[in-house]
Amino acid sequence: MAVLPHPEVHQVETAHGEVRVVDTGGSGRPVLLVHSLLVDPDLYATLVPLLRRRGHRCIVPELPFGAHAVPLAVDADLTPPGLATLLVEVLDALGVGDVDVVGVDTGGALTQLLMADHRDRVGRVVLTACDAYDAFPPRHLGRLFAPIRNRPGLWAAAQLGRSPMVRRLVNVAPLTHRGVDAAAVGRWTAPLRNPQVRRDLAKVMDGMHPRHTLRAGQENTTFPRPVLVAWGDDARVFPRRLAERLAEDLPDVRLVTLPDCGAFASIDQPDLLADLIHEHLGNVPATAP
């Protein structure tokens, strides 16, 4: 987590193990930002200061998605429902009650599970391009991840991440128009050289299955609070049909298309996304745990 300017980084104890968390603090209503697979909270490095200046308290846990520095307990439940529970455990450790939630990619799938299984902890929701319904993982990423779904493949990926040339060649074009520099790719791949981190990531990837997002989609047809679906116009990894189906199924929803934007809206359109999040969340007071 080297990009965020002077981040407030805490290490909290949960039933899953120790978790590092960026918590900007302040009296504003907390916003939980849930990041993508194979990255860390730096995915939101540009967005967090923008939200903070608008009065929001940002909480960004470092999830066991392969770029995490602190491995979880060996017996930690890293299935999608287990990861949703981990997010609740982080909130408990911080003494935070209900939160508004922003999710992207795999983090969007976990956000939908929070909405379904931990509804009392979830306020308003923002879903940017993410896994949903039968796309968990999406077909394109499923093919991309196939070589690293086993431990030897993860080890090989970790070794390749050492090479500056390989880092420069990493293709993130399907995810972001602005791109990610080689230094960030290096930070995100370095933890994979730890076998315990590879163990965590393998467990997470083994648990990814559409039955979880399909169930959440069915449960969330009764979700009682407003949801903003903000989808990049070129989020090619996450088909537009997912956004449209979410807009049809959720009872109180607004669908917005982000121009010149891939899946990672926090990188491609941070100012626009910050404005939309701030408008959507409104002036809702913080609540006690």
**Domain CATH for 224:** 3.40.50.1820
The answer to whether residue 263 is domain-embedded is yes
Q: Specify the number of domains making up the chain.
A: 1
Residue 18 lies inside a defined structural domain of this protein: yes
Joined tokens for residue 80 = 């999608």
Confidence of residue 13 (pLDDT cuts 50, 70, 90): very high
Q: Is residue 89 part of a domain?
A: yes
Q: In which domain, by residue range, is 247 found?
A: 9-279
Question: So what's the pLDDT on residue 131?
Answer: 97
Domain assignment of residue 288, yes or no: no
**pLDDT, averaged across the chain:** 87
**pTM of the predicted protein model:** 0.88
Q: What number of helices (H) and strands (E) belong to the chain?
A: 12, 8
Residue 136 lies in a domain: yes
- What integer pLDDT is reported at residue 139 of this predicted model? 79
Q: Is residue 284 part of a domain?
A: no
In sequence order, what DSSP letters do the residues of 48-93 get, joined into one string? HHHHHHTTPEEEEE--SSSS-SS---TT---SHHHHHHHHHHHHHH
**pLDDT at residue 105 above 60?**
yes
Q: Are 232 and 258 in contact (CB under 8 A)?
A: yes
Residue 282 pLDDT grade (very low, low, confident, very high; cuts 50, 70, 90): confident
